[in-house]
Chains A and B, each alone.
Chain A
Amino acid sequence: MRTLAETKSRWEDTFKEGSSIADLQRAVKFNGPHSPCVAGLRSICWKAFLLWRDAPAEQWPELARESRAAYSAICGQHLRYIRHPEQLAALTIDPLADDPDSPWNAVRRDETARAEILQDVQRLPDEPFYHEERVQTMILDILFLYCKLNPGVGGYRQGMHELLAPIVWVVAQDAVDRATVTTDDPAEALIVEMLDSAFVEHDAFSLFSKVMESAGPFYEVKGSASSDTPQKNTIVERSKYIHEVALTKIDEELANHLRNIEVLPQIFLIRWIRLLFGREFNFGQLLSLWDILFAYDPHLELIDLICVAMLLRIRWTLLEADYSVALQLMLKYPTPAPPHGPHTFVDDALYLKGHFDAAGGVTLIFKYTGKSPANSSFTTPAPSRTTTPSFQKFNSLRQRTLGARSPLPARILQQPGGVEALLQGAAKNVMQRGEKLGINQAVRDAVGEIRRNVQGFQETRNTTRGARALSLFGEATPPPLQDHALTVAMMEKRNRRLAAMLDESVTNLKLLAASGFEGEKEKHLETVELAAAKIQFVKACLEDASLALPEEELPSLGTLTISGSAEISSSTVALDTTPLVMTSSAVDETRTALSTPDSSKGNSVLASPPAESQAKQLIAEVDKMDTDHHDEDTLPPLKSELTNSPSPPAVLTVIPDTPPPPVPIQREQRPHGPIPTRSTLAQSSFAWMLEPDSATSSLQRPHSSSFSSSGRPPSSGGGSTAQRKRVNPSREKNAFLFGEVTGDGAGEGLLSADQIFGLQPIRKGG
C-alpha cells in the first residue's frame, strides 16, 4: 500500500489540469504517461467518470460516504448468516423445515449461488492479486450481492467476474491504510478518507454496479428472468447490429467477406463485449482502454464502434482469411503495436461516431495500414441508411429521420458536409478554449446544442439524399451540372457568412479570455450570452437553409476569412465529398466548373474537387484526428489562432505528385435494406453445416452470384479452397458430412439415430 506522501502527490497530479470532468477527460486522453489515471489516482478518475460525473468535486466525499453506507447496510442484510453462521445456528428454527422462506433454506440457496460464482473467481486471470484469499472473498461477495440486488439480470453470468476484478484491483491499488496514517491536515485527512482501504469493497461495488447498468444487457439472454426485456438487447442482436449495420456501413467489403465466409459475429463478439475487451489485451493495455472508455463513454455506447475499429485494423488479413483463420484471428486478436495501443480503439470509435460511413472507414484503414480499399469496394453510403451513431438510438433515429420533412432544398445538398465540418471545427475550438479557461457553461451548452443540431442536420441531409437518389433510379441521369455549380456557390456563400458570424462570437470570447476576466462580471456575462445567442442563430440557419441571413452581418466577413479559412481548410478535408447521385463523368465536369479561379478564390478548399483530393484528404484527416500525441502539451493544438496567418495545412502539400487513388465514386446502386439478410452460407465451403431447408434453397442460386464482385484477391491460402482444388471429386465430397438428405437419395433407408449410436460403441478406456 502506498504511503500518504506518495498518495498525496498522486492526488495532486490527478487534478493538475483541474477537477472538472472535462479537464480529467482531456488529461486522460492526451497526457499519455502523465495521465491522471497513470501518474495520479486511477480509482478517483474512474469514480469521477462513472459515479460523480454530474457532481462538483466538493460533493465527492459526501457521495462516497453515502454509497459506502448503503453498501454496508446491504452487507448486513444479505451476508449476515454467511459471514456469521453461528447466528444462524442460534436461531430457534428447525433447519430441516420445508418452509422455503426459512433462513436455513435461504442460506442453502445462497451457498449454491456463491459456489457457482466462486468457481469462476478461483479461475480469474493470472494476476497474483486476484488469487489472494481476501481478494477472492471480496470479489465473491460483491458479485453475490450484485446478483441479490439485481434479480433482473437472472443471477451470476460467467464473465462478470472478469469485469469486476480489474475494478477491485484499481481501487485496492490506490487505497491507503488508515491505521498507518496520522495527520492533522484536513486536506490529507480527506484524501485518506476517500482512499480508505477499509472501503475498497464498497467502492468497487459502486463502480461495478455502475458499469453493469450499461454492460448488464450484454449478459442478458433469451428466456432469462427478464423476459419482458426486448430481445434486441441480447448479445446476439448487438453482434448482428455491429456486423450488419455498423460494419456494413463503414466497411462494406469486410462485412460482406465475413458474411461470405460465414463467420457469425457473436462467436467472437460475445467475449469482446461481455468482458469489455478484457481478454483481448494485456492487463495494462486494458486499463488504459478503460480509462478513455469511461472518460468519454460511461454508458458504453461506443462498444459497437470499438469493435468495428478493431476489425478495420485487421481488415486486410481478414479479407485474405478463410473461416477458421478469421475466427482464430478474432479470438486471438493481434496486439496492436504502439503507439497505437488498444486505447486508440476508443479514439477510432469516437471518430467513427462522427464519420459513420465508408469514408470514415477508409480514413481509419488508411491511417493504420497505409492502404485504402480498392476502388470498387469504396461505395458511397447506401442512401436508405441513416446516420446511426449507436445501437440504442438506431430505431428512434430512423423513425425520426424518416418522419422528418427536410427543410433543405435537395440541390443544396450537393456539397454535403461542408457546414457540418466547419461547425465541428469551430465548435471544438470554442469548447477547448472555454474549458481551458474554466468558464461558461453557457457556451458549452450552446456548442453542445450545435453539435446535436449538426447531427440532426446530417440526418435530414441523408434523408433528402436518399429520397433524391431513389427518384433517380428510373431515369439514372445526373442532375444538370449547372445546378451543382450554382448550389455549391450558394452554399459556399452562405457558409462563409455563417462562418463569419461564428468567428465574431469566437473573437469576442477570445477577447474575453484575454482580458483575464478583469473588470465587471456582468459585462463578461453579457458577452458570453451574446456569443451564445449568435451561435444559436447560426444553428438555426443551419437547421433551416431557407432562413435568410441578415445583411448587417456582412461587414464582418472581411475579418472572418483570415482565421476562418484556416479553419475551413482543415475541417473541410474531412468531408464526405462524394455526392451520391453523381456519375464519374459528372464529377469530372463539375470539377472543371468548380476549379475556376473565381470560385476557388478565398475558399478554395470548399470547392476542391472530391476525387483529386481524396488522398490528400485522407492524410489531412488522419493527421487531424490523431489524438495519440502524448506531448508535454496538455491541450490539443488549437488550430486557428487568430494571429496565425492562414497558411494552408502543411499536410495538404505533402504528396502533391502522388497520383490520386481511383475515384471513389460509383453510380448509385439500389439501396440495401438497413439489415441485410444473411443468406450466403450455402455458397460457402461450410455449406455442409446448413440446415436442410436453407441448403436446398441455395441450390436455386448460381454459385457466383453472392460473391462480391469487388475483385478482392482470391483467398489463396484458404484451407478449404486449396483443399477443393487438390482433391478429386470423391475425396472432396467426403469432406462434407451431415446436413440434408436429398430427395433423390437413391432410395436408401434412413437409419434411426439409435441404430447409428448403437453401432458405434467405443469401448476403450475406463
Chain B
Amino acid sequence: MSDVRSAQGGRDTLIRYIRDAGGVGLLALAIFVPFIGLRLHGETNGLVLHYRPKLLVIGVVLAMLARLLVLIWQERRVHQGRAAWRAARVASAGKYVAPALLASAALLPLVPGIANFYIDLGVLVMTYVMLGWGLNIVVGLAGLLDLGYVAFYAVGAYSFALLAHYFHLSFWECLPLSGIFAAIWGMCLGFPVLRLRGDYLAIVTLAFGEIIRLVITNWISLTGGPNGIYNIPHPTFFGLNFNLGGGPGTFSGFFGIDPDPKQLTTYLYYIIFFLALLTNWVTLRLRRLPMGRAWEALREDEIACRSLGINVRNTKLTAFAIGAMFGGFAGCFFATRQNFISPDSFTFIESATVLAIVVLGGAGSQLGVALAAVVMIGIPALLQDLSIYRMLFFGLALVIMMVVRPRGFVSTRTPSIALGKRQQISSELMSEGHG
C-alpha cells in the first residue's frame, strides 16, 4: 500500500477485523469455558474438577483466527463480480466434473487390487445417489416436500423379499415388480395430499413413512415383524450364481476363475450403477417432455399452472409415482444386496438422509445430488475410525455450507429448451425477482 489513503483504509479495515474477531473470541470464551476449560474426573474420592486454561486459550485463539480468515475471504469475494463469476465457474466446472465423476464411478471396481470394502462402500454410496435422484424428482423438480420417501424404499425392498420368500422369484423378475408396487403406493400417498402444500404436505408424508414401517413391524405373520426376512437371494448373472463354493452353475465355475467375494460385490456395484444411471437418464429426458416441464412449472407456481390448462392433479400424481418407482427399484436392490431386511432399515432417519442429500446438492441438480451423496455417505464411512468426531465434522460442514453455498452445491439450473445459446441460470438471483 503505497499511498496514504489506502494505508488509512487498510488500517480501518484492520481495526474492524480485530474488533470483529475479538467479539467472536469473547463468544468462543463463553462457550468454551464449560466445554473445554472445565473437566470432571472420576477419582477414588469422588468427582474432581480440573481446569485446562491452556487448552481454553488455544480454542479461543483458533476461533478468532478462523473468524479472521472468513473476513479476509469475504473481502476478496466482494471484489469479484460474484454471481456472474460464480455461475460461469460452476458452468465450466460442471462440464468436466460430471464426466470425470461418471468415468471414475464406472472404473472404480476395476482398479487393480482395490479392497472389497471400497467397492462395497461404492455400492452404498451409489444406492444413495439413486435414492437422491429419485427423491429429486419429487422435491427438486415438482417442489413437493416429501419426508416419507423411505416408505417407497421399504415397499420395494419388502416386495422383493416377500415375493422371493413365498414364491421363490428371482431378483430380475422382482425388480420391475418392486418399482410398480412402489409407484402404486406413490399414487396412494399422492391422492390424499393433492391439496396440501409445504409444511402440511411434509407432515402427511412423514406420517405415511411411519405408517408403512409400523405396518411392516406389526404384520408379523406376513413380514416376520421386527425379526425381518432372511435368505433373500442375491442376483444371478444370466442364471449363474455367485456361490463361493465354485463348481458348475456358478459364476467362477463357468468362467474357470477362482471364486472371490469381490466378484459378487463388483456385480452388485454395476447393477446399482446402471440403475442409478437409468434414474438420471429418465429424469433428464422427462425434464424435456411436457410432463417434466409441468413438474417444474408446478414447483414455481401452482395457480399459474392451472390457468394455463395444466392438470395439476395428474402432474402431482406422476411426480409421486415416478419418484416412488425409483425408490422401489433402490429398495429391491437393497434387499438383494443385504440378504436380510428388517423394519429397522427403514426409519425416518433414512428419509432425512436422502432429503439432506437432495437439499445439500441443490434441489433439482443431478450433479449436485451425486456429489452430496458422496459427501454425506462416503466420507463418514471412510472416517469410521474417527467416528467420535463425526458429528463435529458434520456440524462444521453444515456451517460452511450455510455460509458458502446456502442453496446447495449446484444451485444453477439449465433451461430445458434454448433457442439461442444455452445458459446457466444462477439461483443466487432467484428470490429477488418479483418486480
Task: Say whether A associates with B.
Answer: no
Q: Point out residues on B near A: beta carbons under 8 Å.
A: none
